[in-house]
Structure 1
Amino acid sequence: MKIIVSGGGTGGHIYPAVTIIRTIQEKHPDARFLYVGTQKGLEADIIPKENLPFATVDIQGFERHLTPANILRAGKALVGVAKAARIVRSFRPDVVVGTGGYVCGPVLMAASLMRIPTLIQEQNVVPGITNKILSGFVSRIAAGTEEAKRHFPADKVVFTGNPIRSEVMTARREDGARSYGFDPSKKTVLISGGSRGARSINRAMIDVLVQAADHPEVQYLHVTGSLEYDDVMNRLKQAGLDLEQTPHIKVRPYLYDMPQAMAMTDLAVFRAGATGLAELTARGIPAILIPYPYAAENHQEHNARALEQAGAARMILNRELTSARLCAVLTELLSEDDKLVAMAKASREMGRPQAAGDIADLVLALAGRK
């Protein structure tokens, strides 16, 4: 059985794709894969490290108005579509899977026109333009949220949830706390703006951490992102915070084992990317969400609002984020156990830890090999 998987641009498209691939491999060790992405996206770095065969298509998204850059991109798109068709024709897959990003467009379109079964996995509450277009051509759509279903043809879409790494569910609180020198019996807050960090969250956290220094009953793990780390450390120093004297506060540029950190977390401060939210809800972690305001179709705000309406999270819009606002919400939730317990229950009810297996079964069914 041969499967093409395509997804590019951001980790939110790439890591779900890798999770789906690994889950299919567990069910069918003989399956062969080809990952199709772009040379400039994160996938060009991530996929070869995963030891997966990798092919590239040169394509970019279009701006929303006519520009000289769009004319050049249109020319590249035509060449990209032709190359995508050659890749599909040469590999002869039994099924093609797309997890988002512009590169999925030509790959899945070519497969559809060749009558090859196709599936797209939509992570967000509001789908991007590529998946909206592809929904008219593909065989099946695996929706990451119930809310997303209304954007797709009812006879094609299935609510599966978003795929998460198996380590998310197997990581243990005690192990996570031990790895950071924390006390597993104390409440722990995890702050992360994603792999590249979020400047607005990092700046708001400076005063929060300064105030937290006098309250060792709550532990903080703040992940700044590699590019933001030095700036955050300098600002904390200028604010008079000596991290060597506050072992209950840790600041890191990046986490190589996020599942272990999540295992010890009682409250998270996050952006609202679909993959991060899938992992939080799978573990039932309450959250304060600050959506990235420039995400396509404003999908992060829609993602965050869905969790807030379910009672699993509080949302603070990026333009409304201040240290005082963030500190007030943190103080409220950390001091009222009933609220935190209710949010955790609501979060867990939204979680779909089995999503990767369900999506893998859909893919295998399309390939006729379930």
Structure 2
Amino acid sequence: MIADALATKALENGFEVIFIGSTSGQDRKYFEGKSNFSYVYFLNSSGVVNKRGFAKVKAMWNIFRAFLVSREILKRHKIEATYSVGGFSAAAASFASLSLRISLFIHEQNAVLGRLNSLLKPYAKRFVSAYDKDSSIKGYPVKDVFFKSQRIRESLKCIIFLGGSHGAKAINDLALSVAQELKKRDIKIIHQAGESDYERVKQEYKDLGVEVELYGFTKDLDKLISRADLAVSRAGASTLWELSANGLPALFVPYPYAASDHQYHNASFIVKNELGWCQREGDELREKLLSTVGKPLEQKSKKLIEYSIKGVADMMIKDIKETLK
């Protein structure tokens, strides 16, 4: 995740780093118990955009309460700068920072500008985006481990299916539909199915007679990615750029209900630059994957490595230091 990449570099530069996230979503799963942050806080907040009526009022009230708590946290730690990566979990701390006149920096993760970042952009010291040609810092902050294990894929011996942090039934079903064909072609399968769908997928692979390396959720995704030669993945920003940094070509299957359809636009950016493939969920998805399995990988893998920019997190932290002088 982008927050983890930034925290690692900030600590290397002598900063105390705290994380303010939400009790909802995936923040706790990634950062509770073990993380690079000096302190982590999870506040009661949830998305507002897709809610109506009382649910919307309640969500806004929770963000306001989280805003008040965030002010106290920022003052307690004497925070000098805040980096927002968008989304509802960033709202409280971002507004709290502005209310305390703490320098706010924004990284837009997606190809479509999120509503929170759009609202905050005029008040930020810096706005960074891998998709914006006018961004002062190019690229996306990815942990060094993805660059260290990068390699050019010359042939397809192993495919990895990634449905995101929650898993994705459409990708799980796609993997199951091609499992026997991949077995015939002697292609190994690594599959992160998501915890909620793990048992069903496990049983179906067993019924098909196909051995796979199956996970519900794992924090060792970098190791799995480095072993694969092709990925089938959602097009969330962090995963997209981690695959790119590792030189792993991918067929992206965008989550159809993502806000502003941002996953499709993320994947379209990759396709436009001839770095990978994209196919929406639907009847043609299986055929698209099987045709992709037969395509050469080396050229796309090389282009991904050439396109990826190493040290973006370093640049972002250096920019903070220069701005605070």
Moved over 6 A (4+): none
1:80 corresponds in structure 2 to: 66
Letter in 2 for 1:364: K
Matching residue of 2:38: 52
Q: Does 1:39 align with 2:14?
A: no
- The one of 184, 193, 211 equivalent to 1:214 is 184
- Give distance in 1, aligned partners of 2:90 and 2:156: 44
Q: 1:214-235: per-residue Cα shift (whole Å, max 9, x none)?
A: 222x333222222222212222
Give the equivalent residue in structure 2 for 1:97: 83
CA distance in 1, matches of 2:273, 2:285: 24
Alignment of 1:185-224 (within 5 A): 187-216=157-186, 218-224=187-193
5+ residue gaps, structure 2: none
1:122 positional shift = 1.2
Q: Deviations over 1:88-109 (max 9, x none)?
A: 2333212111122223223222
TM-score for the superposition, normalised by structure 2: 0.89
Q: Using the alignment, how far apart are the partners of 1:202 and 1:355 within structure 2?
A: 33
CA distance in 2, matches of 1:203, 1:317: 14
Matched position secondary structure for 1:318? coil
Indicate whether 1:158 and 2:171 are aligned. no
Among residues 275, 278, 281, which one is paired with 1:312 in the alignment?
Answer: 275
RMSD: 2.4
2:249 alignment partner in structure 1 = 286
Q: How much does 1:22 deviate?
A: 0.9
Question: Judging changes above 3 Å, is the alpha-carbon distance between structure 1 residues 307 and 186 closer, same or farther for their aligned structure 2 residues?
Answer: closer
Q: What is aligned with 1:272?
A: 235
Is the 1:190–1:221 Cα contact (8 Å) retained in structure 2?
yes
Matched residue SS, 2:160: strand
CA–CA separation in structure 1 for the residues paired with 2:129 and 2:311: 14
| CA offsets 1:161-201 (integer angstroms, 9 cap, x no match) | 2211121122377xxxxxxxxxx986322221123221111
Shift of the 32–326 alpha-carbon distance from structure 1 to 2, 3 Å rule, reads same
Partner of 1:153: none
After superposition, the Cα gap between the structure-2 partners of 1:303 and 1:286, relative to the gap in structure 1 and judged at 3 Å, is same
- Residue number in structure 2 paired with 1:4: none
Summarize the alignment of residues 63-74 of structure 1 with structure 2, pairs less than 5 Å apart. Answer: 63-64=49-50, 66-74=52-60
Tell me the distance in 1 between the aligned counterparts of 2:283 and 2:312.
34
Question: Do the aligned partners of 1:59 and 1:103 also contact (CA within 8 Å) in 2?
Answer: yes
> For the residues of structure 1 that align with 2:38 and 2:292, how far apart are their CA atoms?
43
Is the 2:26–2:165 contact (alpha carbons within 8 Å) kept by the matching residues of 1?
no
Structure 1 residue 47 displacement after superposition: 2.6
Residue 297 (str. 1) matches residue 281 (str. 2): no
Cα deviation per residue 1:310-353 (whole Å; 9 max; x = unaligned)? 111111101345433322332x31xxx3xx22222332233122
Determine if the alignment matches structure 1 residue 341 to structure 2 residue 311.
no
1:271 deviates by: 0.8
Please, what TM-score do these two structures have when normalized by structure 1? 0.79
- Describe the shift of the 1:220–1:118 C-alpha distance in structure 2 as closer, same or farther (beyond 3 A): same
- Distance in 1 (CA, whole Å) between partners of 2:166 and 2:318 is 33
Count of residues paired in the alignment:
321
1:169 aligns with 2:153: no
Match in the other structure for 2:197: 228
How far the C-alpha of 1:42 sits from its partner, in A, is 2.7
Whether the aligned pair in 2 keeps the contact of 1:206 and 1:323 (CA below 8 Å) is: no
Give the Cα separation in 2 of the matches to 1:205 and 1:363.
43
Q: Distance in 2 between matches of 1:143 and 1:238?
A: 45
Q: Percent of pairs identical after alignment?
A: 22
Cα offsets for 1:227-273 (capped at 9, x unmatched)? 2222122223333x242xxxxx5333344422222223222111101
Q: Could you say which residue in structure 2 is the equivalent of 1:152?
A: none
Judge conservation of contact 2:233–2:250 (CA < 8 Å) in 1: yes
Between stretches 103-112 and 91-100, larger displacement belongs to: 103-112
Equivalent residues in 2 for 1:235-254, closer than 5 Å: 235-239=204-208, 241-243=209-211, 249-254=212-217
